[in-house]
Amino acid sequence: MKFRRLVLTAALLPVLGRGIAAQDAPPGDQGTPPKQDEGRGDEDNGDLRKRLEELEQKLKILERQKEVEQEVSAGKAKDAATVVAGKDGFVIKSADGAHQLKIRALLQTDGRFWGDDQVKPATDTFELRRARPIIEGTVSKFFDFRIVPDFGEGKTVLQDAYVDWRFTPWMRLRAGKFKSPVGLERLQSAGDIVFVERALPANLVPNRDVGLQLYGDVLEGVFSYALGVFNGVPDAGNVDLDTNDSKETAARIFLQPFKRSSVQSLQSLGFGVAATYGHSLGTTTATGLPSYKTSGQQTFFSYRSDGTVPNTAIADGRRYRVSPQAYWYAGRFGALAEYVESYQEVGRTTSRDDLKNRAWQVTAIFALSDDRPTYKGIAPKRPFDPAGHAWGAFEIVARASALKVDDKAFTVYADPATAASEARERGVGFNWYASRNVKLMLDYIQTRFSGGDAAGDREDEKVLLDRFQISF
């Protein structure tokens, strides 16, 4: 309309100008009135009205064409996908958000350097601990998926491959291969743990399993739950197929009672309990029994197994676990604690026993910079930028953990000359977060053992671990 008025005004200006000029002209001879062709004047006025009407009609057509072009452009913009690159990965998203594809990655290059390893020497080495391209997405608004292969350590392993059906925030259904809802530290992303390797309790909880799980967050995470049915894996197991018809149930509840309160120091206090129950029946080729490793990734306990029926221990009945757990993050301080008991019926030759293995850990975190540790790591307030005199975030960590194997495992099911009955770990570490996506870690961990050597106790393990990590 403004454009139409502007054009009409411009068209009328000459006419108005002539009228004004006629009014301002000097008067002629008063005795002789000017001659005027009245018929000609009416004709001129009619032509002017006709021209103005034609001009206004053309303007209406132009305005409508402009509106159509704007509508077409808006329609194209509405249907156009968006591509975004940021700290959370590379995202391709449809305009309505119903479909999206996210590409992320986790890359960890580690170093392990040993001290005083005279009896059981280990090689100082650098290794590619994890190399995981991560593909996530959403289809038809309510269905999410995640696919995570891992090419680290010279192996190819499918870590995650699942679909989530989001009904509401408090009810979701997950199907596929994913982490069992049990261990507190195990449920942390490998990119968020504060030590290079997880503590000893991670040996007693499932790693990843294939199954179906119902889970959700109530009251914006004040209460979280998970309940699932899985194939069932040994302690620390990560498998794709079941070896028997028995299945395993797993459940977890976790509370953060002050999450929505005004008391900031208590908002990140959480505690809960997790458990599994099932049956496992092993064979001489697939025993269904675990082995346990130190933070240096050295095996310190394994069951007897040489592939023959009389000499191989196998899973032979019920298996269940229970794990109380808690964490607390307040200001620069953070702490995580968990306890695990793993029960397994084991058989060998004519013997059969119910073994109970136990583990615990306590981890403390303190940020040296003005940053806040969380269960999902630290997002530095001032990411590394020398030009801006910003250096990222720094934290120190300390940990104590232990794992005790049931005494009944010796000597029928495990050889005390090679398998330790207990491991006790103490460690300290320093972490530098250059940004949310880049982290450098340095740990020193010493582990002591009971048994595990023909002469008595296995030699202490002293290892220096470092890690350079990129995660996005």
Dihedral angle of Cα 61, 65, 71, 73, to the nearest 10 degrees: -170
Which pLDDT score, from 0 to 100, does residue 14 have? 52
Instruction: Give the model's pLDDT for residue 311.
Output: 84
pLDDT in tens, 389-414: 999 999 999 999 999 999 999 999 99
Strands, DSSP E only, in 36-124?
82-86, 89-93, 100-115
Mean pLDDT of the chain: 90
Cis upstream peptide for 411 (omega within 30°): yes
Q: What is the mean pLDDT of residues 218-232?
A: 97
| Side-chain half-sphere exposure of 447, counting CA atoms within 13 A | 28
**What's the confidence (pLDDT) of residue 309?**
72
Is the pLDDT at 29 greater than 50? The verdict is no
Q: Which domains does the chain have, with CATH numbers?
A: 2-21+43-78 (no CATH), 104-471 (2.40.160.10)
pLDDT (tens digit per residue) in 103-126? 999 999 999 999 887 767 789 999
Q: What is the largest CA-CA distance in the chain?
A: 146
Report residue 446's pLDDT band, with 50, 70 and 90 as the boundaries.
very high
Give me the pLDDT at residue 77, please: 58
| Model confidence at 13: pLDDT above 70 | no
Mean pLDDT, rounded, for 229-237:
97
- For residue 164, give every residue at least 6 positions away whose Cβ sits within 8 Å of its Cβ, in sequence order, or none: 143, 144, 145, 146, 172, 173, 174
Instruction: Label residue 450 by pLDDT band (50, 70, 90).
Output: very high
For 304-322, the pLDDT digits (tens) are 998 777 889 999 999 999 9
Burial class (CB in 10 A: 0-12, 13-18, 19+), 28: exposed
- Phi then psi dihedrals of residue 444, to 5 deg: -125, 125
pLDDT tens for residues 70-95? 777 666 656 677 888 888 889 999 98
What is the reported pTM?
Answer: 0.83
pLDDT on residue 78 = 63
